[in-house]
Amino acid sequence: MNRIRTRVAPSPTGDPHVGTAYIALFNRCFARQHNGDFVLRIEDTDSERSSPESESRILKSLNWLGLSWDEGPDVGGKYGPYRQSERTAIYAEHTQALLSTSSVFRCFCSSQRLQEVRTQQQLKQDTTGYDGHCLGLSQKEVTTRLNRAEPFVIRMKVPESGECVFNDLLRGEIRIPWSQIDMQVLIKSDGLPTYHFANVVDDHLMKITHVIRGEEWINSTPKHLLLYDYFGWQPPVFSHMPLLRNPDKSKLSKRKNPTSIFYYKDMGYLPEALLNYLGMMGWTMPSGQEKFSLDEMTANFDLTRVSLGGPVFDLEKLDWLNGKYLREGMNDTQFLQRYQEWLAAGNKIELTVPLIRQRVEKFSDVISLAGFVACGRLTLTTDNFAHKSLDAEALKRILQISLWRLESQQTWQRDSIESELQKLSSVLNIKIREFLYPLFVAITGKAVSISVVDAIAILGLDVSRIRIRDAIEILGGISKNQLKSLEKEYSQSICKAMIG
Ligand code: GLU
């Protein structure tokens, strides 16, 4: 039998997500259990949204959790490069191979035409997708258009009838009618591949035997299987893991739950506890024990015991488990050592020193001025927010709009945070002092502290976000409808005014 090889293939387009760690964990356990290899591949085909910062944060966060890999962009390996942006020549070669068959076709449709087709389909409440307009172009016409240097994409042909039947290791037989499958773009007009093409080519060339990924990819699997078929390759075994869910059963999202791995690091969760918690998502130890290490999980791993009911990522349960580690997993000396390591890791206290030195008279003043950087969520009440001219609605509006603005920052730097907030206050026509007031209370929880801009810059987005959210809740929350209209106002007028 072939050596078992699995992979996790994150796209570096944002914060390292707990879902990536969850999928990495199960892939790693499966590979280790079979003495196989676990590969980390960076899927950065979306050059506009991908960034090296995001990639390095993903690697750092997985390392923090102790999820090491055998091959990857940082450690190399036999089947590299492991970053898709470095594999362009490989994809070009494989594109040529497919073009010489009749499994793909060039599509010259303009985005305007595609949009029109889409609108018509939506009006008729049909499944949206490519209508096959360029499917019947003659070779002569294609050549003429190529000679005119008309831009084109390469799409895959899809069977007109029948269904795609495949076996999922966790779900058994899955059947998806081909009529639901779009003639996927494989190669974009710039000659670069889409996710689907690169993913299949790489899984094959990297000799991946088992694809263990989130259930959101089930509907893409027919396209992938078709590609394996067009290339004449043996497909890997597919297993689609259940998605992590918010307590209300919706898909885990940062609107409802912190999703960045760094949030959990910054809040002082132990990596081994977070990993243990992710291991409990849809999976149980044969003994039923809830507290287990990565080694224990690996030794007892059995992928087929994953249960498919959407596992709920519940902060209370994670708190309970983390507390168990702190109480039962270490003595006082170890506790203190881990606590000090955590305090030092973010350099947060250190970063406050230049800001508070002018204002303290003795060491015992430090905690009251800067202690907020080492706290997680604050316990505040509406009284903390009382203001002479801003009522709860006005305060919540400022908080929510500021949060959206902070979330859109490309880089996290004090000066740009300051200028963005200043701009926002003038667009909203609120004096800067008043504008910053609810943020100051939400973030520092104090009547006196360092400047809120410094505080936000030091705390980072994840912790700032949860405090702003908590403040909005304390002030009565924002209803779904209010949020919708605020979002509209934000994207349609406020953001435009910010640019202008
Ligand atoms: N790049 C995809 C992601 O971000 C990988 C999906 C897959 O595992 O095939 O999740």
**Under a CB-based contact definition with an 8 Å cutoff, are residues 187 and 95 in contact?**
yes
What does the DSSP 8-state code read for residue 389? S
Specify the ligand 1 atom closest to the Cα of 20: 10
Edge to edge, what strands does the sheet with 153-156 contain?
104-107, 153-156, 185-187
**CA pair distance 305, 317, nearest whole angstrom:** 21
For tokens 């949060």, the residue is 403
Measured from the Cα of 7, ligand 1's closest atom is 8
416-425 tens-digit pLDDT: 999 999 999 9
Task: Give distance in angstroms: CA of 43 to centre of ligand 1.
Answer: 7
| Antiparallel, parallel or unpaired: β 37-40 and 5-8 | parallel
Name the pairing type of β-strands 210-214 and 237-241: parallel
Task: Tell me how far the alpha carbon of residue 260 lies from the centroid of ligand 1, in angstroms.
Answer: 17
Q: From the CA of 16, how far away is ligand 1's center (Å)?
A: 13
User: What does the alpha-carbon distance between residue 75 and residue 69 come to, in Å, rounded to a whole number?
Assistant: 8
Q: Could you tell me which residues are beta bridge partners of residue 251?
A: 245
Which ligand 1 atom minimizes the distance to the CA of 203?
9
The rounded distance, in Å, linking the Cα atoms of 178 and 172 is: 19
Instruction: Determine whether 31 is exposed, middle or buried from the number of CB atoms within 10 Å of its CB (0-12, 13-18, 19+).
Output: buried
| Residue, of 132 and 27, whose pLDDT is higher | 27
Q: How far is CA 411 from CA 169, 195, 402, in A?
A: 41, 26, 16
CB-based contacts of 122, cutoff 8 Å, min separation 6:
128
Ligand 1 pocket: which of 6, 11, 85 to mutate (most atoms within 8 A of CB):
11
Beta-sheet pairing, 163-168 with 172-177: antiparallel
CA dist list (Å): 306 to 209, 244, 253, 367: 19, 13, 22, 46
**Between the ranges 323-327, 377-381, 448-452, where is the mean pLDDT highest?**
323-327
Residue 253 confidence (pLDDT): 83
Dist. CA 478 → ligand 1 center (Å): 34
Q: Which of the four pLDDT bands, split at 50, 70 and 90, describes residue 484?
A: very high
Task: Tell whether the model's pLDDT for residue 347 goes beyond 90.
Answer: no
Q: Would you state the pLDDT for residue 368? A: 87
Residue 411: pLDDT band by 50, 70, 90 thresholds?
A: confident
Residue of minimum CA distance from atom 6 in ligand 1: 9
> pLDDT tens, 117-158?
999 999 998 888 999 899 989 999 999 999 999 999 999 999
Closest residue by CA, ligand 1 atom 10:
10
Q: Say if residue 16 is preceded by a cis peptide, omega within 30 of 0.
A: no
Read off the pLDDT of residues 231-278 as tens digits, 9 standing for 90 and up: 999 999 999 999 999 988 899 987 778 899 999 999 999 999 999 999
pLDDT at 410 over 90: no
At 378, list the tokens: 């604050």
**Which atom number of ligand 1 is nearest to the Cα of residue 195?**
1
Task: Give the per-residue pLDDT at 329.
Answer: 84
Place of tokens 């400022």: 398
* pLDDT computed for residue 456 by the predictor: 96
User: How many C-beta atoms lie closer than 10 Å to residue 191's C-beta?
Assistant: 12
Q: How far apart, in whole angstroms, are the C-alpha atoms of residue 263 and residue 245?
A: 17
Confidence band for 316, pLDDT divided at 50, 70 and 90: very high
Q: With cut-offs at 50, 70 and 90, classify the pLDDT of residue 227.
A: very high
- Placement of tokens 């263990």 in the chain: 212
Q: Which positions are annotated as active-site residues?
A: 254
pLDDT for 219 equals 96
Q: CA-to-CA distance for 162 and 136, rounded, in angstroms?
A: 21
Contact residues of ligand 1, CB 6 A cut-off: 9-11, 43, 199, 213, 217
Rounded distance from Cα 203 to ligand 1 centre (Å): 11
pLDDT reading at 372 higher than 80: yes
Query: Smallest Cα–Cα separation from 406: which of 430, 436, 377, 384?
Result: 436
Picking from 425, 426, 427, the residue whose alpha carbon sits closest to that of residue 438 is: 425
Strand partners, 213: 240
On the question of pLDDT at 1 being above 80, the answer is no
pLDDT of amino acid 346: 77
Region class of 111: left (phi > 0), else alpha (psi between -120 and 50), else beta: alpha
Instruction: Compute the distance between CA of residue 424 and CA of residue 430 in angstroms, rounded to an integer.
Output: 9
Best residue among 43, 194, 202, 204 to mutate for probing ligand 1's pocket (most ligand atoms within 8 Å of CB) is 43
**From atom 8 of ligand 1, which residue's Cα is the shortest distance away?**
213
Best of 85, 199, 238 for a ligand 1 pocket test (most atoms within 8 Å of beta carbon): 199
Helix (H, G, I), strand (E, B) or coil at 409: coil
- Tell me which residue of 160, 88, 99, 152 sits closest to 129, measured CA to CA: 160
> Can you tell me the distance from the alpha carbon of 348 to that of 343, in angstroms, rounded to the nearest whole number?
7
Q: From 213, 221, 237, 259, give the residue whose CB has the most ligand 1 atoms within 8 Å, as the site to mutate.
A: 213
Q: In the chain, pLDDT over 90 holds for what percent of residues?
A: 83
How close is the Cα of 11 to the center of ligand 1, in Å? 7
217 Cα to the center of ligand 1, angstroms: 8
Interior CA angle at 166 toward 163 and 167, to 5°? Answer: 150
What is the structure's pLDDT at 348? Answer: 85
CA of 232 to the centre of ligand 1 (A): 22
What atom of ligand 1 comes closest to residue 224's alpha carbon? 9
Question: Over the chain, what is the mean pLDDT?
Answer: 94
Express each pLDDT in 71-88 by its tens digit: 999 999 999 999 999 999
Nearest atom in ligand 1 to the alpha carbon of residue 43 is: 1
H helices of 206-357, in order, are: 221-231, 261-266, 271-279, 294-299, 315-328, 332-345, 348-356
Tens of pLDDT, residues 427-472: 999 999 999 999 999 999 987 788 999 999 999 998 999 999 999 9
Percent of all residues in the chain with a pLDDT value above 70, rounded to a whole number: 100
> Does the predicted model carry a pTM greater than 0.85?
yes
Residue nearest atom 3 of ligand 1, based on CA coordinates: 10
> Looking at ligand 1, which residue's alpha carbon is closest to its atom 5?
9
3-class SS of residue 243? coil
- At 211, give phi and psi (nearest 5°): -100, 110
